[in-house]
Chains A and B, each alone.
Chain A
Amino acid sequence: MSAQDYRINAEVRRYFVSRWVDVSRLQIGTTNGVIYILGHFETTMEDPRHRLDVAQEGGAMERLLLLARHLERDLRRIRDVRDVIFKLDNISKRGGTWRAANGAAPWMKTGGG
């Protein structure tokens, strides 16, 4: 664990806290530039982006999967990060797609019409 790893780890925690991810249910660590996220992934409230005047498509799991996708993208962009490894008990990434742990298909945005 280098000073660089600790800086990355601190930045990861800040990303999670700013997006209302419940860090108390996660193990977060960085070693040799590889970020590890283990545990149960959820937010501290039902929908931190919810606004009464904005219709939200999809349910809680779809929002969680979308959040996971955005977080992974943002974490990989942190300077000096070589890889991001998730081992979560409620969601996982398979074939490039985030899914619920029970294998439920992710929310797909339907076309208009």
Chain B
Amino acid sequence: MSSHRFGDLQALLAQLDGRVTACPSYADLRNLRGLARAQCGDALGARSDFEQALTLNPNYATARYCLAWLHTKFESTSGAGLAVAVALPLPAAARAQIDFVRQVRAGRTDLPPAVIDGLPVPVAWRELDRLWVCVLRGTHAQAAEQLRRVGALDGDFPALLHAAGMLRRGVPDWPSLQAWAAAFDGNPYSDTLGRVAADLALAGGDAAGARSALAWGALLSLDLSAYWVAVGTQHESRGEERAALVALGRAVQVDGERVEARIALGFLFAARGQATDAIEQFEAASRLAPGYADVRYELGLLYAAEERFDRAAVELGAALDAHPGYVLAQLALGNVFVATGRDEDAVQLLQSVRASGLRSADVEATLARLHQRLGHPIQARRARERARAAARGASRG
């Protein structure tokens, strides 16, 4: 299928080909292109991309799900009877979802609601699975009822359904629903294609097309939080802070456990000078993803800005535990140690920063002061010379 509600899927695929060529070791791009290839009917190409994504990042859960999902396509189209997911480790919920998709592809459209309700997956996915089965059965009355149930999940959802053409004057549009069923195909991660298509449309000056693609992407997964994060990011990139605040606030309200929503809102609050609100969002993100180095780093910066150096040291230390090569976290923690009089610890960290190849007159000047305080005159002199050299290099550059 090359004609698609996202817009020109072949053009999107060409863009992704270019991106993968430019960044061959970026696992996310491989997974994204795999989804696009699957949408265009290139199952073998899609499998290659998902497998390559997993080679690049063996812990990439989404790619693992997509590969298992794609195997269900092979089973139904080729009849080759491929082993389920080739022993890919999947959480129980994801494996149950894959088994459900396999049964639907095998023609088990008579699955009773109780089977669907018994799936240990998030509520939103079950609602989409219900809709998918109804559309595949051709039972229009049940599909219409399901759309009403989906609309009841959120007051803004009927507007999204209209924006994506699935409702026209409140009445389901069956060709659109069938196109949706083909695009959804039992894989909620297909919504990422909508976001990429929306970014491309916006870059091309097609704001209406961008909003339409976002709406379509949101519908594919019922992932309203991701939709609002994308909308908020677009507003923020255009300097529309108030609209961005509304959209990102909505993203957190819809799904408070979505890390990217918390982070996006945290950055927006920080940019507006609302440090306390920013800390609240990053703390929430940190609870959801304690190993996320960037979140711990940003929290460390915020606490340091508030002169809460003890908390800053904890957060920056956690960032370095998660990512030992995080140069800016080393620099920030070094400056925290300077502020709290831990001169020797500060010297150690700032020397690590210098060893990373970063040439900074400011870092060398700080090292010079520290060495002077610690009674190391030779090291202090050398640091001052390096500071002058770095400053000369900067002025020439």
Contact = CB atoms under 8 A, between A and B. Distances in A.
A11 B271 contact: yes
Interface string B367-397: 0000000000000000000000000001011
A60 interface: yes
Interface in A78-105: 82-83, 85, 87, 93-96
A18 B386 CA distance: 35
B172 to A, nearest CB: 34
Given A6-B302, A28-B328, A44-B199, A36 B22 contact: no
Interface in A5-58: 5-7, 9-11, 13-14, 17-18, 20, 27-29, 31-32, 34, 36, 38, 42, 44-52
A108 interface: no
Contacts, number: 106
Interface stretch (B115-123, B207-215, B355-363): B355-363
A17 B241 CA distance: 13
B305 A3 contact: yes
Contacts of B19: 45-46
A17 B328 contact: no
Q: How large is the interface on A (under 10, 10 to 19, 20 to 34, 35 or more residues)?
A: 35 or more
A85 to B, nearest CB: 5
B85 interface: no
Contacts of A2: 305
Interface in B265-286: 267, 270-271, 273, 275
Interface of A: 1-3, 5-7, 9-11, 13-14, 17-18, 20, 27-29, 31-32, 34, 36, 38, 42, 44-52, 60, 82-83, 85, 87, 93-96
B396 A95 contact: yes
B31 to A, nearest CB: 14
Nearest to A27: B328
A56 B262 CA distance: 38
